[in-house]
Structure 1
Amino acid sequence: MHEQLRQDAEGAILFDPGVSPQVDGRWFDPGYWRERAALSVRGGGRGGVAVIATPAGECVLRHYRRGGMVARLLGDRYLWTGADSTRSFAEFRLLQAMYKLGLPVPQAVAARYQRRGLHYRADLITQRIPAAQTLAERVVERLLDAELAQEVGALVARFHRAGVCHADLNAHNVLVAPDALYLLDFDRGRMRAPEQGWRIANLQRLRRSLFKLGAAPDGEPAFDQQIWTPLLYGYERTLSA
């Protein structure tokens, strides 16, 4: 796995030439793909994501957007502190590192930033995992049981064992595919030294997400028994393996 940098007057594109050697600025323009009948827009994340049919296969194009109160002021703009610190370049490189470790993540295709003075905007393209649902969708459809919960726990443990801290671990960022489970959206994620504190915080964030989505409609005791205890069992068994 390698990276190649392409710069222009507006910013720069970082891409993996082994995945696609032909990435340019048009790849980050939904209109370019729409004109070629190669675009579909789906929910997920802030403002949704675009699925694009590229020469490298189906990919997901995500534009970085802020959340919360600050979004009203800055929208999709971030403070410029250098190319390597941009959200898109950092996530691209983290995805590459995790993919190299054999962790189940989408393969990074390309990342871009466009700088305007003190701010920049950013985009990321990753390969799409076919025939998959988010864990949140499984919860809503009442398809989360003890067996799947145990698999989710094992998935999280694999990342924690490798020192990967997901900044927003929730049911929308766990993908359930026919062959495996995957983690998505590593914006602000990073590699950290093994430490119980951040691992527990990750798990508690996931717990709140599952409970809020109604993973066990009969209340918290049922949730702990039916979902959370199996999830922790899968987590602890994998973490200590």
Structure 2
Amino acid sequence: MGNMATIRRDIGAGHHFIFDDTLVTQPNTDMFNPEFWHAQSKVTGQAKGRGTTIFIEHESQQWVLRHFKRGGLVGKILSDQYVFLGVERSRPFEEFRLLELMQAQGLRVPVPVAARIHRRGLIYRGDLITQNIPNSRDLHHVLCHQSLQKEEWHKVGHALAAMHNCQVYHHDANVRNIMIDDDKQIWLIDFDRCYKREGEHWKQSNLDRLLRSLRKEKGKNTVFHWEEIHWHWCMEGYKATIAN
């Protein structure tokens, strides 16, 4: 981790790219267009969140392409439009830079491949490509089928503490943004609107968000292998790892 060679490229017509040139030699607008990948039969799946995320197989790489879309009431009006405050302050660029930083710190987060924004006047739209986490499922999917052992909950706590030790605030630390791979390693995903933050006071609210998410899914799903004792195990792992 941490061997990225990041390049930013600004081309005409309001297109701005940032990319890891060890993974992408020449970024272009096509690679951020789902139809381009569908036409080549390189789309291996998709997931629906606020927008549609597609999974791509390209030159032996497994990629995840996400188009930035707004949620809530604002999303019904503006959909995928954001106010332009500068290229580096755009959501795709900020998430790319944050993932790059966490990669350098050795955290298990997606590898950023490329991001782009397309600006028209005061408005921009944007996309991000990351490497897919191989052989992984999100925590919600796993808990609908099986329970985690005590040491696995400890690992979830370790992962959250490692993120907080880097002073990274996760805007949406919920059960679907935690991944578990075949080696029982924990990964954190979806760092849109996340950022480096000073101090300690906000860290508990990140943990509270995840606990609310677990309780909500427990109430919603007929089968959901989670109990309050599991949260205690998670916090044991967190406290063992968090910097004093």
Taking structure 2 as the reference length, what is the TM-score of the superposition? 0.90
Give the letter for the 1:202 counterpart.
N
Partner of 2:96: 92
CA gap 1:44/1:202 in 2 versus in 1, 3 angstroms: farther
Give the letter for the 1:136 counterpart.
H
Distance 2:93 2:212 in 1: 29
Kept in 1: contact 2:51–2:68 (CA 8 A):
no
- Secondary structure at 2:72 match in 1: coil
CA gap 1:233/1:215 in 2 versus in 1, 3 angstroms: farther
Distance 2:59 2:143 in 1: 34
Root-mean-square deviation over aligned CA pairs: 2.0
Alignment of 1:41-56 (within 5 A): 41-55=45-59
Kept in 2: contact 1:160–1:194 (CA 8 A):
no
Partner of 1:15: 19
Distance 1:8 1:41 in 2: 32
Q: Does 1:190 align with 2:211?
A: no
- Secondary structure at 1:213 match in 2: helix
Q: CA deviation at 1:61?
A: 0.1
Kept in 2: contact 1:139–1:213 (CA 8 A):
no
- Secondary structure at 2:241 match in 1: helix
Stretch moving more, 19-28 or 70-79: 19-28
Alignment of 1:27-38 (within 5 A): 27-38=31-42
Distance 1:240 1:78 in 2: 36
Q: Deviations over 1:21-80 (max 9, x none)?
A: 132211101111111110133224323310111236010000011111111111111111
Distance 1:9 1:217 in 2: 48
Give the letter for the 2:20 counterpart.
D
Q: Does 1:122 align with 2:131?
A: no
What stretches of structure 1 move > 6 A for 4+ residues in a row?
215-218
Partner of 1:152: 156
- Secondary structure at 1:136 match in 2: helix
Q: Does 1:83 align with 2:87?
A: yes
1:137 alignment partner, one of 134, 141, 151: 141
Kept in 2: contact 1:5–1:12 (CA 8 A):
yes
- Secondary structure at 2:218 match in 1: coil
CA gap 1:70/1:217 in 2 versus in 1, 3 angstroms: closer
CA gap 1:160/1:32 in 2 versus in 1, 3 angstroms: same
Q: CA deviation at 1:9?
A: 1.0
Distance 2:119 2:195 in 1: 23
Partner of 1:235: 238
Aligned residues, how many?
236
Distance 1:8 1:107 in 2: 27
Partner of 1:113: 117
Taking structure 1 as the reference length, what is the TM-score of the superposition? 0.91
Q: Does 1:74 align with 2:84?
A: no
Kept in 1: contact 2:84–2:122 (CA 8 A):
yes
- Secondary structure at 2:85 match in 1: coil
Question: Percentage identity across aligned positions?
Answer: 37
- Secondary structure at 1:214 match in 2: helix
Distance 2:48 2:236 in 1: 29
Distance 2:109 2:221 in 1: 30
CA gap 1:237/1:212 in 2 versus in 1, 3 angstroms: same
